[in-house]
Amino acid sequence: MAFFRDCGDTDMKTGMGHGASVTNSQFPMPDAQLKLYLSNFQNMTEQANGLLKQGISQYQAHQFEAALDSWRSALILYQEVNDKRRSGAALGNMGVAYEALSDYAQAIECYQQHLDLAIEIGDRRGEANALGNLGNACCAREDFEGAISYQQQRLAIARETGDSRGEEEALGNLASCCDAKGDFPAAIECYQQQLAIARESKDDRVEYKALKSLKLAYKYLADYQKANEYRQLQLAIVRQLFLTNKNSNFVQLAETVGLNPVEDFAGADLSGFDLHYADLVGADLRETNLSRVDLTLADLSGALLSGANLVDATLCNANLRDAELSGTNLSGADLRTKLPRANLTGANLSNANLSSAYLPNAILVEANLHGADLKNADLSGVNLSGANLNGADLSRADLKNVVVENTRFAGCLGISQGMKIELMQRGGIFE
C-alpha cells in the first residue's frame, strides 16, 4: 500500500498546495480581509496536514478506525481549501484503512476517486499510487484480470517517468497477481525483471525478495533444478553476509535473504560456520556439509541429518533429541551432548568425543565407533547391533540393557572381565 506522507510541496508564499491558490484579483477585498482569509486558509491546511500524519501513526499502531477518522477529517479540510492533490492522498490513505478493515468495496471507491483527481491535475505519482492500490485491492477480491490491468498501467507510468523504485514495486505487485491467478510463467517473467532492476540499483531488500519468489515459483512448476539454482544464489549471499559479519545470527540472516531454515539448508555447504545457539528444530539438513561447524547449544531436535558431513563439528550440549542421523559422518566430532532416541544407524563416529554423552535408547546399528571416547556415556538400552567399537574407551559407561549382537569390541578400554563375559553372552565379539 502506498501512503501519502509528505505534506510539503506547497507554495511558500501562500502555503497552498497544487490545485489551490487564491489571489487578490480573484477575490477583490480589502487587504486586511485578504490577510485574514489567507491566514484561515493556512491554518486549515496545517490542520489537515497534521491529521494526515496522525492517521499514519494510528494506522501503524493498528488503530484502523481511528486512522480512517483522521484521514476523513483531513479530506474535508483539503476539500475546503480546494487542494486536490492532497484530497487524493487522503482518499488513498482512507482506502488503505478500509482494506485493513476488509471493506474492499469502500477501499476501491476511495482509490478510484484518488485516481480521478490525480488524472485531473496531472499528478503522475498520485496516479501511479492509486493504480497500484486498485490493483492490490482487486487482487485481494480475486479479480485477477482487473488487478493485472491496474498493475500494468502503474508499471507503464513508472517506466514513462523513469521511476525505477516504482517499476520494481509494480513488477512485484504484477507478479503477485499473476502468481495468485496461477500464471506462474508470467509471474516468473516479472520477478526476473524485478531482480535485474534491483541488482542494477543495488536494492538488496528487493533482490532477496525476488530470489525467494523465483525459487518458490519454480517449485510450484515442479522445476526443482531451477528452484535450486535460485536457492544456491540465496545461500551464496547469506554465506557472504555471514563471513562479512561473523557476529550476526546465521539463521536470522538466512531468513532475511528469504531462506527457510527448515527446508533450504539441505545439501548446502555451511562448513566452518559458527552456528552456536542456532534454532534448527526439525530442519532438513540431509547431505549438508557441516564439517568443522560450531553447533554448541544449538537446537537440532527432530532435525534430519541423514548423510550430513559433521566431521570435526562441535555439538557440545546441542539438543539432538529424536534427530535422524543415519549415515551421518561424525568422525572426530564433539558429541558431549544428549542424543536420546537418536537414529545413528550406519553413522561414522570414529574418534568422536562422546564422553558423558546421554544416549538412552539411541539406535547405533552398524555404526562405526572405532576409537570413540565413550567414558561415562549413558548407553542404556542402546542398539549397537553390528556396530564397530574397536579401540573405543568405555570406561564407566552405562551399558545396561544394551543390544550388542555382532558388535565388535576388540581393543576396547574400560571393560571389566565380568562385563566382557556378559557382553559376549549377548553376542558381542572381542576378537
Q: What is the pLDDT along the chain (431 residues), one digit of tens a residue?
A: 555 544 433 222 223 334 444 444 444 555 655 555 556 667 888 999 999 999 999 999 999 999 999 999 999 999 999 999 999 999 999 999 999 999 999 999 999 999 999 999 999 999 999 999 999 999 999 999 999 999 999 999 999 999 999 999 999 999 999 999 999 999 999 999 999 999 999 999 999 999 999 999 999 999 999 999 999 999 999 988 888 876 678 888 899 999 998 999 999 999 988 898 999 999 999 999 999 999 999 999 999 999 999 999 999 999 999 999 999 999 999 999 988 899 999 999 999 999 999 999 999 999 999 999 999 999 999 999 999 999 999 999 999 999 999 999 999 999 999 999 999 999 999 98
What are the cell numbers at 143? Answer: 479479480
DSSP state of 365: T
| Distance from C-alpha of 16 to C-alpha of 80, rounded to nearest angstrom | 12
| Distance from C-alpha of 174 to C-alpha of 177, rounded to nearest angstrom | 5
- Reduced to 3 states (helix: H, G, I; strand: E, B; else coil), residue 388 is strand
Cα–Cα nearest to 44, from 9, 8, 13, 83: 83
Cβ neighbors of 214 (< 8 A, separation 6 or more) are 188, 191, 192, 195, 230
> Which pLDDT value is given to residue 163?
94
Does the predicted TM-score (pTM) go above 0.85? no
DSSP state of 350: T
CB 115 within 8 A of CB 131: yes
Longest C-alpha distance within the chain, in Å?
Answer: 118
> Which pLDDT value is given to residue 367?
97
Residue type, 96: V
> Which pLDDT value is given to residue 12?
23
- Reduced to 3 states (helix: H, G, I; strand: E, B; else coil), residue 37 is helix
Distances (CA, A) of 246 to 231, 238, 295, 427: 21, 11, 14, 49
What are the cell numbers at 228? Answer: 535450486
> Which pLDDT value is given to residue 107?
97
- Reduced to 3 states (helix: H, G, I; strand: E, B; else coil), residue 334 is strand
**Residue 236: CB atoms within 10 Å:** 13
Q: What is the 3-state secondary structure (H, E, C) of 182-250?
A: CCHHHHHHHHHHHHHHHHHCCCHHHHHHHHHHHHHHHHHCCCHHHHHHHHHHHHHHHHHHHHHCCCCCH
- Reduced to 3 states (helix: H, G, I; strand: E, B; else coil), residue 403 is strand
| Distance from C-alpha of 315 to C-alpha of 298, rounded to nearest angstrom | 8
- For residues 323, 327, 329, 334, the Cα torsion angle rounded to the nearest 10 degrees is 30
> Which pLDDT value is given to residue 245?
79
What are the cell numbers at 302? Answer: 527432530
| Distance from C-alpha of 54 to C-alpha of 228, rounded to nearest angstrom | 46
| Distance from C-alpha of 79 to C-alpha of 76, rounded to nearest angstrom | 5
